[in-house]
Amino acid sequence: MRLLISACRAPSRLTSTHNVFIKHNNNKREPKMSRKTVLSALGLAGLVCAPAGSEAIAQEWATEEVIVTAQRRGEPLQNVPLTVTVLSGEALLDLGIDTPAKLAAQTPGFKVSTVFGEGTNPTFFMRGVGLLDFGDVTETPVALNLDDVYLGTQAAQAAPIFDVARVEVLKGPQGTLYGRNATGGVINVISARPTSDFEGRFGVQFGSFGQQIYEASASGPLAASARGRVSFRSNRDDGWQRSLTTNQGGFGQADVASGRAQLEVDVSEQSTLLLRTDYARSDGTSVLYPLTGLLKADLVTYCTQNEAAANLCFNSAGERGVRDPRVGLSNIPHLRNEFEFRLGSAAYTHDFGGASLTSITAFQSVDKIFEEDADAAAIDRGFTSYALDAHQFTQELRLNGGEDDSLKWIVGVYYFSENRSSSVESPPNFATFADQKSESWAVFSRADYPLSEDITATAGARYTYDSKSIDVVSPG
């Protein structure tokens, strides 16, 4: 039995957080990637806090070996000729990282922008490459893969991170290793797999504004050739904003529940089948935007930039800007920020000896409703609603071969199909509805050959065919 109590957390809107994690492993063996190993990788990205004597500990961690799959095969991080930041599941807990957006705080060159504020579509930028778009009709240049399954919509990329083995952030174009091409970079979230020995974990966190976070997982054998794992996470609070106009509170509320179930079966001595399903649901509320006036007291003359920044100015309705981020002026009593994510996948692997075959089949759906008061004022305009209903199917076949000290190669075929229905409505004068279809085929390959102990030659090729169509209707 191990009790983990952590007081070090990444900065957040909460003024206090207390965490207790209890982990039980009946054979008392550490996982393959130990906590010390993980934090050595974290040290490459930069620690935000460290215990006393961390200098000596860091020297010890520096000698540990970190195994990553950034190049679609397990290998030491030191041998990967890519810019990779690695965070383990233990490190994510220690740093309070529970969404992909929070990875930016620990990843140099990685920036995340949420156009509409907390809880909405994250927009990733890797080394300046990204797409700042609040719509639901685009794909971003920075890809997010959950256990080798590409998440095509920005809404899906807001799904919680929990019970993971590690997260790998790769920078730069990734075209010859992955089924869905990415020009900016790739974020790989690798879940903790079912284990041959029983282990369980339970965690509780309490914070300001009534925040309660519960996380639990259990893993172990189901039969001689089958293993299972179930995971659950709940994050709820009372909201941290209220409206001065209506005195209504509960804005910026989080209410997220997510779960995962996995079944791993040894089909034969050379073959393994992993079935998994993911589910996440959010029933929170949107944040209130700050009102920054542009006019002087006469409601005609424009303010200077410094006056507007100091919230000394008014809007056309005579409302002065508010400096306290915990309050707003909206006259709308409730703004929905709802989200539902479903993912089912089957991963089959077969080892031929000199090569291994991997097949990943996945279905995915995302539903979203997001409402905002765009003018941030106590006037009857600015209400806007965004809705999305997306369905995605992907199939990847990948063949890996070669040895570490000789030619290593990978060849893959990938298929992607997606249907999206989205809308933007701002009654009574504006509405637009879009139905779009995307289909893509790709063949990718790569070979690495060591010319010497320190030099490796790499060659890769890719062919992609994309077909997209969209029907847009704007009444009137």
SS3 225: coil
Interatomic CA distance for residues 381 and 269, integer angstroms: 65
SS3 87: strand
* Strands of 105-152, DSSP E: 110-114, 122-126, 129-130, 142-146, 149-150
For 48, the token pair is: 């935000």
Compute CA distances 212 → 102, 158, 235, 239, 425, whole Å: 19, 19, 6, 12, 34
The greatest distance separating any two alpha carbons of the chain, rounded to the nearest whole angstrom, comes to 81
Question: 131 with 140: CB under 8 angstroms?
Answer: yes
Question: 460 with 446: CB under 8 angstroms?
Answer: yes
Strands 355-373 and 336-351: antiparallel
Compute CA distances 125 → 13, 99, 117, 176, 186, whole Å: 23, 16, 16, 21, 11
Interatomic CA distance for residues 394 and 230, integer angstroms: 24
Comparing C-alpha atoms, which of 417, 410, 420 is closest to residue 389? 420
Please list the residues that pair with 447 across neighbouring strands.
Answer: 409, 459
Where the chain has pLDDT below 70, the residues are: 1-64, 115-120
Q: Thinking of the domain 24-290+325-473, which architecture would CATH place it in?
A: Beta Barrel (2.40)
Comparing C-alpha atoms, which of 72, 351, 26 is closest to residue 190? 72
Strands 142-146 and 185-191: parallel
Instruction: Write the single-letter amino acid at 329.
Output: L
CA atoms within 13 A on the CB side of 100: 29
Domain ranges of the chain: 24-290+325-473, 291-324
Comparing C-alpha atoms, which of 332, 356, 358, 335 is closest to residue 347? 358
Q: Give the position of tokens 């010319």.
A: 451
Proportion of the chain in helix, strand, coil states, percent, rounded to 5? 10, 50, 40
Interatomic CA distance for residues 361 and 299, integer angstroms: 60
For the chain, how big is the Rg over CA atoms in Å?
24
How many distinct helices (H) and strands (E) make up the chain?
4, 26
Element (H, E) at 89: helix 89-95
Judge if pTM exceeds 0.95. Answer: no
CA atoms within 13 A on the CB side of 203: 25
Interatomic CA distance for residues 66 and 331, integer angstroms: 53
CA angle 362, 367, 372 (to 5 degrees): 145
- pLDDT (0 to 100) of residue 120: 66
- pLDDT (0 to 100) of residue 224: 94
Question: 313 with 303: CB under 8 angstroms?
Answer: yes
Question: 275 with 300: CB under 8 angstroms?
Answer: no
- Report CA 195 to chain centroid distance, whole Å: 24
- pLDDT (0 to 100) of residue 146: 97
Strands 149-150 and 142-146: antiparallel
Contacts of 269 (CB under 8 A, 6+ apart): none
